[in-house]
Amino acid sequence: MNALVVEDERNLADAICQILADEGTRADVTYDGPTGLSMARTGNYDAIILDVMLPGMDGLELVRELRRSGISTPVLMLTARTSTQDKVNGLDAGADDYMTKPFESAELLARLRALTRRTGDVMIEESTFGDLTLDLTTHDLRCGSKSVHLSGKEFEVMKMLMSSSARVVSKRDLLNRVWGGNSEASENSVEAYVSFLRKKIKHVESTVQITTLRMLGYRLEVIK
Ligand code: CA
């Protein structure tokens, strides 16, 4: 799992990274809002731990902007404030859970586990297409000796494309299945994730490509 920590209290930020590292979770850290937003927008994270009071842009605005970009990475908000209204504001802005500082490391880990737990997955451990293998447990995409980690949504999109084999998958189907019918995400979000995936597929030097069929959608193809 890859996590992003956005927290301007450096001691706390570093402590959170250490707690995560002890659990085998890679974490990137930043101490201000605007940098946090641009890092979060890469879609490269499975979870974001986000402070409310931040320099540059507060956590509420950050999560709102993130959701507007169609990025639905789970967000755990941290705050020193305890009022119910603050909690409601955080959840309304698009956060998935909320934790009041100070907290115990066990609570942080339990909440992260709950946020990133995937439900309904069948117990098939790998999906393959051409020279690509998608590990359904670790979310790593492999080709030969090269591998790259996929974030939550990248993984879901790739899994759907692979399970459709060479059949065309429409943007609408991806949107409904990966983001859910009630999501505010748009077809632009699908395009953004397909573009992230294309970069990652290129990175592992696969002969597979995601082909766009105008007005229809996407399908996987092996390029000879
Ligand atoms: Ca702060």
pLDDT at 119 over 70: no
Q: Count the domains in the chain.
A: 2
User: Do 106 and 6 lie in a common domain?
Assistant: yes
Question: Of 148, 151, 169, nearest to 160 (Cα)?
Answer: 169
Tell me the residue range of the domain where 112 lies. Answer: 2-118
User: Do 62 and 151 lie in a common domain?
Assistant: no
Strand 126-129 relative to strand 132-135, pairing: antiparallel
The CA 210 to ligand 1 mean position distance, Å, reads 41
Q: Where does residue 152 rank: exposed (0-12), middle (13-18), buried (19+ CB within 10 A)?
A: buried
The mean per-residue pLDDT over the stretch 16-33 comes to 93
User: Do 179 and 112 lie in a common domain?
Assistant: no
User: Do 105 and 131 lie in a common domain?
Assistant: no
The mean per-residue pLDDT over the stretch 171-195 comes to 88
Tally the C-alpha atoms within 13 A of residue 77's C-alpha that lie toward its C-beta: 28
pLDDT grade for 140, boundaries at 50, 70 and 90: very high
The CA 25 to ligand 1 mean position distance, Å, reads 23
User: Do 134 and 100 lie in a common domain?
Assistant: no
The CA 63 to ligand 1 mean position distance, Å, reads 15
What tokens does 28 get?
Answer: 């990137």
User: Do 6 and 113 lie in a common domain?
Assistant: yes
The CA 13 to ligand 1 mean position distance, Å, reads 10
The CA 5 to ligand 1 mean position distance, Å, reads 12
Last residue of a domain, one of 118, 147, 177: 118
The CA 80 to ligand 1 mean position distance, Å, reads 8
User: Do 100 and 35 lie in a common domain?
Assistant: yes
**Model pTM score:** 0.55
